[in-house]
Structure 1
Amino acid sequence: MWKPHDKAILPVPDQGEEGVNAATPFLSVRVPFAVDPRWALVEAGFDHNCEPGIESIFTVANGYVGTRGSLDERAGPSSPVTYLAGVFTGTGGAGGVLKLAELPDWTHLRVLVEGVPLSLETGTTLDHRRILDLQHGVLFRQWRHQDDRGRVTALTYARAVCLHDRHLLLQSVTVTPENYEGDITIQSATSNPQSEIHWSSELKGNAALLLGQTDRGTTIAMASHSRLEHEKGLESVGNGSGEACAEQWVWRAQRGAAARFDRSVVVYSSREVRDPAEAATGHVRRAAETGLAANLLRHAQAWEERCCASEVEVVGDETAQRALRFAVYHLNSAVNPQDERVSIGARALSGPTYKGHVFWDTEIYLLPFYTFTDPAAARSLLQYRFHTLPAARDRARRLGYQGALYAWESADTGADVTPETVRAPDGRVVQVLTGIQEHHISADIAYAVWQYWQATADEEFFLTAGADILIETARFWATRGRVEPDGRYHIRTVIGPDEYHESVDDNAYTNVMAQWNLERAADTVDWLRSHRADVWPIISERVRVTPDEPDSWRRTAALMVTGFDRATNLFEQFAGFFDLEELDLQPYRPMSVPIDVTIGRERTQRAQVVKQADVVALSALFWERFPVAVHEANVRYYAPRTAHGSSLSPALHAVVSARLGEADLAAQYFYDAAAIDLAHHGGKSAGGVHIATLGGLWQAAVFGMGGIRLREEGLVVAPHLPSNWDRLSFPLQWRGRRISVTIDREPGQVTVDFRSGEPMTIELSQGSMQRITSHHRYVAHRVGPGWSAWQESKR
């Protein structure tokens, strides 16, 4: 279990009821808001071995730009990187590597005392902390340094990637000589990364401009404006090398007299504007006129509004509360609703692993959070899949199928960029088959489209994009397999979520998802014909639906082999799985290394060892489709056989365990998922935070412990709180309505606050269904195995 003292990122020590005020010695950078200790993550001290993981955890991002939480002056094995969403460099395809663009390091800053640079690796560190304010999206840092001559310098930093203005990046440092006077120097340099982008620099008035051109033809501009304020006044332009990307300030500092350096940076690319250089320089001048403090306040206000719309509150379990706030912070950091041509990579904008490529993680693990808390963001992510539909169609055609087969790893165009080979942990080079065989992603995307439509009733999206995706993915499944002599439809040579087993036939997850995809596509056509006869001819012409296709999809779905045995209620994970070697995994737990490394890849493939939720994932996604007895049987069978060799796995097991009433077991899975990024100083996060796991944590809390399920006419609440969760509350959006749900262990109570929107229904498990209206509060109490009637009151 992940415990708070297991080398985890700890909360800020209690600073009193008023929180941590930015004007106190705790944070001497003056900002017009307080840091609430309950919303802060802190890394105290400095361990250069942990630095890569810490940098990922303390990333500041806004879905457009992401900057890792590196130390400003650099130390140890630092990886100071800023990523720009949607811009890739390199080449895809055979032998190519396509990766997310890395921008120049705009945060690089050195402080020198009498010409000697301050460093955590020299002198004596009296105090050092990085503080991530999860409520306001600001990274603070406090450092007191004593050099070899006994001079003590206090430094406090603030950094933000703005939410109110996604092109704007902010940095500030306050320097105070505590026991000496002398010359202090600040050197500010924007260093160029070793990348495929060629950068040039120039001065544009009092703004420094960096201009880059990627090898794929995208122009990027970064404009910066800096100023230094100290006891003698304000210096708005530095002096020094004369290079546009390097500036230097020197002043004679008095004992105890603070000086503050502020820098504003603006980023644009030719993806958004015709002239990025002009846009960036004009924008940074306006930002400088507004001032860093005012911009920081606007950013903090925008971030706090997003928190209010998405916060999950847990009372009684501080570990779970901290994990959920961390998860929601990074989920909100990862998405840009203003850009429908980008999606979220497997490590978001926080690290290099998977090179910014987009997987099924986005639709299955992330989309629910956005669908129910930020529908505009969910829509933008699905629009990315619509814009890459031509590439999916082309991929299916090249492989001999109809319809659309989405890339297993996608970048900007939607073409498949899965590497052909990787180096295994034992050093061997192995072929990567996921890009060739892991086809369930097309159904995963269809699932997300349907869930979004059901939850939002966004008819415009459905008519212009969603229906196309559902129809084209169904067409793929109608041709991916075939009816064989046994009269059943088989899909052969695939990889399911359990990637330990390759080239298998009739994977249950793949086939059930395909079956569902075919059924929903047929339903889509029926609905369009009956409800939108005015636009159906346009859509039909656009996707060229033939009259008999919907019926053929239903016939194919009915013939689909799913591996389900009515006698045992079990799904066989794939044809022949039950014949594989039985292997007791208990002696190998807890697994510090993956099981396929421990026992070897070949034996793993011969054994009933599951990498991650596969059949169990069907229970998480299709709770209403199968009886509870089916879910129970499959969890009992597959949970002991699951090695959780993927970070995606524990959260879905938490969802299903909670729905089965095993809430304490669900909490254990929840802690396991949270520990992936937060325990051991983020040792597993050097390549970036596990953003899909963080989406899974939200689902575990809301869909699992909170018991939220989606119905045609409203929502179901079927809560199961762990024994140490006294209260769980969260906001939700459903078809334009805004509600908040609170579940209290004692006295066994569910409260629904209907904040705004048209009337809807809310249903309790084994309880009453209630039509609710806005500006009212509804309360139900536990009565035996069921619930009392709802009690209604004005809010």
Structure 2
Amino acid sequence: MLEVLQPTEEPGWVLAHEGYSVLTESAVESRFALGNGFLGMRASRSTGRGPTWASWLGYIRWASWPRCYVAGLFDLPNTEPPVPALVPVADWSRVRLILDGEPLVAREGEVLHGLRRLDMRRGLLLSEWTHRTPAGITASGHELRLLSLADRAVGLQLQRIVLDRDGIEVRLEASFGLAGLGMEPVRLESDLGAWRTEGTGKVVAMAGAASLNLNDVSLRPERPFPLRWVWRWRSTAGEVAEFARLVAVARADRSAEDPAPQATAALERSTAVGWRAILQEHEAAWDAHWSDSGIRIDGDDDLQRALRFAVYHLTSAANPDDDRVSIGARALTGDAYFGHVFWDTEIYLLPFYTAVWPEAARALLMYRYHTLPGARAKAALCGFRGALYPWESADTGVETTPESVLGPDGKPIEILTGKMEHHISADVAYAVWQYWRATGDDDFFRDAGAEILLETARFWASRAVAEADGRHIRGVIGPDEYHEDVDDNAFTNVMARWNIARALEALDLLRARWPDRASTLRERLALDESELDDWRDAMGRIVTGLDPATALYEQFAGFHALKRLNVSDYADHALPIDVVIGREQTQGSQVVKQADVVALIALLPEAFSGHGATINFRHYEPLCAHGSSLSAAMHARVAARLGDADMALRYMRETAALDLDPDPNSAGGIRIAGLGGLWQAAVLGIAGLNLMGEALELDPKLPRTWNRLTFKVRWRGRSVSLSLARDAVEATLIEGDAMDITIAGLTQTLNARSPLRVDLSSEALPSVAEVEA
């Protein structure tokens, strides 16, 4: 067993944390979390941490916050306000080691050595520790944990324990900690448990098997309770105890369904092949994913590590086999935001999946298709037509943003994002169009995507009020959430116009290619020509805030009249700027929470003619206080496209630091949107990748400190390897038919088994006139 407990030796693949501090423990548990899109597990220590339970004493900080999650397992807890939340399931990793009747607990005795490693290459959590008890007994241990990427129902835990003394009465207990917390047990058997959520009626089943070998001899366990194993022996100094546990999990979304047979079957197939095969298949699955989605930077080891960390968590978060779930703001790594899904998924995560793992992208978009009824219901409740997606979504697509929360003084604070942050509908539509253009997945477009486009466009047409000077979208919140209840937010309005235009284009496409589908859909949606005429009017007359004389968008009506604030004066404050200067002054100032107009530059560069993108970026970049983890990466992407590599790298490093710094504030889970944004900054920003044209497009602008950037991309059924240096680009068609590729404005044909090299020297590139000709 010892050989598999060693980390990957190649540099840059392993993150390590040594020692223990109550101030950083929860953050480490988030950073080193495991996941496979169906299961998630925080990197809590399994041995010696002591019990954990819920407490109302808010001033007490838990030294550890062990959590295991199942994607889509939501319930309505007894909170005020009542908000659907992802339910933690039984912690199946806990091990208690009792020596001469005294439990081994980290806070007692002396921890001589403690090291946790996240082996990103293999998708493993590796731990090692040496603990001297108050009685002077020294115990050492190594551990491996994984959630299988090859069989998402399965988890594996291995431990190797050695004592330094003879004659110690040893008791090792392995159990499923907190089993049933917040859920009703419906089935408890020796190797199987099933629990039902009280509110939503979902059922989760967990099956387990465990074994212990002492010097390669199997010990028979006591089985006092379901899913609990106890071994006893008297120690010999230096002898090795090897513990192995397999777990299998299944979820049912209706109380009448029984997931136990699925969990049992998964456990049976795992135990039949053994833990070594489980580990090998898991490592092979990770190897395949790294081959498809890995990024290699020659010349920047820090950002190389950060991008691997980003790809690790992005890969861990998605499950292409389940299109009824999406990815929450903290994925399956922590409790922050209750597991809710935001616009983060479509705008910050989908580009990665679309480019390297389109099967996962499709499943995430099908989640939005399945939750269209909830979006329609919200639009109707707000007095509009079509589909208004919830700002926060759980499993049903019903709005889950609380209407108010209690402030520190006990008074209610109204939460307006769920009522006013409507750009989410255009964000979903944008992701639908981007996915279809990049993949050519006509089945998705015809059967699901087009309907999303039409229903979101219908919402915008009904939302945009016709007035004498155009059509206005009043009373909204844009990405800049420091300013609430504003009129004509530029990001919202321009995205709305774009959404309507794409819906009309989609309808024309349906008519031309699938006329029966077009007819059926129009009839089912009761979409007549008079309504389409209203869409065309809205598309042309929704005001955008663009001043043709200056090429500057006004972020929202009246923004330019607000007080100018020197945001850089507050850069050194540990607290967000709105906390430092107060809510009232923030709302009255030209200070931006996160990329707003800047995000528009990234998503719709065609909305900025001439030098418009540069003009708007230089205007708004100094005004941004980056009060959201989403902000810096979007600024990095835009700075890279505008040729400011130094600023792009600075913002990329800021994004990476959010979850990689020694003491990050990520106790509630990793900020997966920021990690998706970091990938975008490198691939869509620095590499200049565009998947939405008639050819695969690249316009690289490598920083002078980078020697080479290498990655793969999938585009319309092809797989392409790209290697970018400052003086040349090399492209290889790995799989699929010949295709056109545009590099720095020059379009050429890329054939299989015939690598293409394009010289980027100024002498080799065509002039603008030659390209246009």
TM over 0.5: yes
The partner residue of 1:553 within 535, 540, 559 is 535
The equivalent residue for 2:241 is 259
Does the aligned pair in 1 maintain the 2:180–2:195 contact within 8 Å? no
Shift of 1:279: 2.5
1:123-522 mapped onto 2 (5 Å cutoff): 123-178=109-164, 180=166, 182-192=168-178, 195-199=181-185, 202-204=188-190, 207-231=191-215, 233-235=217-219, 237-239=220-222, 242-271=224-253, 274-423=257-406, 429-486=412-469, 488-522=470-504
The 1:368/1:255 distance shift into structure 2, 3 A limit, reads: same
Cα separation, 2, equivalents of 1:397 and 1:93: 27
Does the aligned pair in 2 maintain the 1:312–1:324 contact within 8 Å? yes
The answer on 1:620 being equivalent to 2:602 is yes
Q: Which amino acid is the alignment partner of residue 770 of structure 1? A: Q
Cα separation, 1, equivalents of 2:685 and 2:410: 39
The 1:208/1:261 distance shift into structure 2, 3 A limit, reads: farther
Cα separation, 2, equivalents of 1:653 and 1:515: 23
Cα separation, 2, equivalents of 1:303 and 1:323: 18
SS in 1 for 2:605: coil
The equivalent residue for 2:13 is 39
The partner residue of 1:784 within 737, 758, 762 is 762
SS in 2 for 1:680: coil
SS in 2 for 1:783: coil
The partner residue of 1:597 within 579, 584, 602 is 579
The equivalent residue for 2:55 is none
Q: Which range moves more in the overlay, 357-366 or 776-785?
A: 776-785
Q: Which amino acid is the alignment partner of residue 160 of structure 2? A: T
Cα separation, 2, equivalents of 1:91 and 1:128: 36
SS in 1 for 2:323: coil
SS in 1 for 2:634: helix
The equivalent residue for 1:691 is 672
The equivalent residue for 1:792 is none
The 1:426/1:713 distance shift into structure 2, 3 A limit, reads: farther
Does the aligned pair in 2 maintain the 1:317–1:724 contact within 8 Å? yes
Q: Which range moves more in the overlay, 387-396 or 595-604?
A: 387-396
Shift of 1:652: 0.4
Does the aligned pair in 2 maintain the 1:426–1:597 contact within 8 Å? no
Does the aligned pair in 2 maintain the 1:184–1:253 contact within 8 Å? yes
Shift of 1:661: 0.4
The equivalent residue for 1:542 is 524
Identity of aligned residues (%): 44
SS in 1 for 2:422: coil
The equivalent residue for 2:513 is 531
Give a deviation string over 1:130-188, Cα, whole Å, max 9, x none. Answer: 11111111111011222345433220011111111111111111002246553332111
The answer on 1:708 being equivalent to 2:689 is yes
Q: Which amino acid is the alignment partner of residue 199 of structure 1? A: P
SS in 2 for 1:505: coil
SS in 2 for 1:633: helix
The 1:459/1:80 distance shift into structure 2, 3 A limit, reads: same
Q: Which amino acid is the alignment partner of residue 780 of structure 1? A: V
Q: Which amino acid is the alignment partner of residue 388 of structure 1? A: T
The equivalent residue for 1:6 is none
SS in 1 for 2:595: coil
Shift of 1:484: 0.4
Give a deviation string over 1:402-454, Cα, whole Å, max 9, x none. Answer: 11111111111100010112356898642100000000000000000000000
Give a deviation string over 1:615-643, Cα, whole Å, max 9, x none. Answer: 00000101234225111001111011000
Does the aligned pair in 1 maintain the 2:7–2:126 contact within 8 Å? no
CA RMSD of aligned residues (A): 2.1
Q: Which range moves more in the overlay, 112-121 or 442-451?
A: 112-121
SS in 2 for 1:710: coil
Cα separation, 1, equivalents of 2:408 and 2:568: 22
Shift of 1:33: 8.5
The 1:424/1:771 distance shift into structure 2, 3 A limit, reads: farther
Shift of 1:614: 0.3
SS in 1 for 2:395: coil
The 1:77/1:194 distance shift into structure 2, 3 A limit, reads: farther
Q: Which amino acid is the alignment partner of residue 227 of structure 2? A: C
Q: Which amino acid is the alignment partner of residue 45 of structure 1? A: G
Shift of 1:32: 9.8
Does the aligned pair in 1 maintain the 2:114–2:130 contact within 8 Å? yes
The partner residue of 1:674 within 656, 669, 679 is 656
Cα separation, 2, equivalents of 1:358 and 1:650: 20
The partner residue of 2:737 within 740, 745, 758 is 758
The 1:53/1:606 distance shift into structure 2, 3 A limit, reads: same
Q: Which amino acid is the alignment partner of residue 201 of structure 2? A: G
The 1:119/1:274 distance shift into structure 2, 3 A limit, reads: same
The equivalent residue for 1:20 is none
| TM-score, normalised relative to structure 1 | 0.91
Q: Which amino acid is the alignment partner of residue 693 of structure 1? A: G
Q: Which amino acid is the alignment partner of residue 156 of structure 1? A: H
The equivalent residue for 2:56 is none
The 1:591/1:532 distance shift into structure 2, 3 A limit, reads: farther
Does the aligned pair in 1 maintain the 2:143–2:159 contact within 8 Å? yes
Q: Which range moves more in the overlay, 373-382 or 172-181?
A: 172-181
Give a deviation string over 1:532-575, Cα, whole Å, max 9, x none. Answer: 22432223223332134434322211111000011111100000
Cα separation, 1, equivalents of 2:149 and 2:429: 30
Shift of 1:609: 0.4
| Structure 2 residue runs without a partner (length 5+) | 51-61, 768-773
The 1:101/1:29 distance shift into structure 2, 3 A limit, reads: farther
Shift of 1:126: 2.4
Q: Which range moves more in the overlay, 278-287 or 508-517?
A: 278-287
The partner residue of 1:723 within 660, 685, 704 is 704
The partner residue of 2:41 within 67, 73, 98 is 67
Shift of 1:290: 1.6
Does the aligned pair in 1 maintain the 2:90–2:180 contact within 8 Å? no
Give a deviation string over 1:86-131, Cα, whole Å, max 9, x none. Answer: 1111169993221011101111112233333223322222221111
Does the aligned pair in 1 maintain the 2:165–2:235 contact within 8 Å? no
Cα separation, 2, equivalents of 1:157 and 1:37: 21
Cα separation, 2, equivalents of 1:94 and 1:556: 40
Q: Which amino acid is the alignment partner of residue 204 of structure 2? A: I
Q: Which amino acid is the alignment partner of residue 751 of structure 1? A: E
| Structure 1 residue runs without a partner (length 5+) | 1-22, 790-795
SS in 2 for 1:254: coil
Shift of 1:248: 1.2
The 1:214/1:167 distance shift into structure 2, 3 A limit, reads: farther
Shift of 1:586: 1.3
Tell me the matched-pair count.
754
The 1:468/1:94 distance shift into structure 2, 3 A limit, reads: farther
Cα separation, 1, equivalents of 2:229 and 2:729: 58
Cα separation, 2, equivalents of 1:610 and 1:201: 52
Cα separation, 2, equivalents of 1:654 and 1:319: 16
Shift of 1:610: 0.3
Give a deviation string over 1:198-247, Cα, whole Å, max 9, x none. Answer: 2366334xx24344444211121111111101126113x5216x111332
Cα separation, 1, equivalents of 2:571 and 2:323: 42
Cα separation, 2, equivalents of 1:80 and 1:94: 24
Does the aligned pair in 1 maintain the 2:728–2:761 contact within 8 Å? no
The partner residue of 2:29 within 51, 55, 58 is 55
Does the aligned pair in 2 maintain the 1:201–1:244 contact within 8 Å? no
Shift of 1:253: 2.9
Does the aligned pair in 2 maintain the 1:198–1:214 contact within 8 Å? yes
Give a deviation string over 1:574-604, Cα, whole Å, max 9, x none. Answer: 0000000000011111341110000000000
Q: Which range moves more in the overlay, 582-591 or 245-254?
A: 245-254
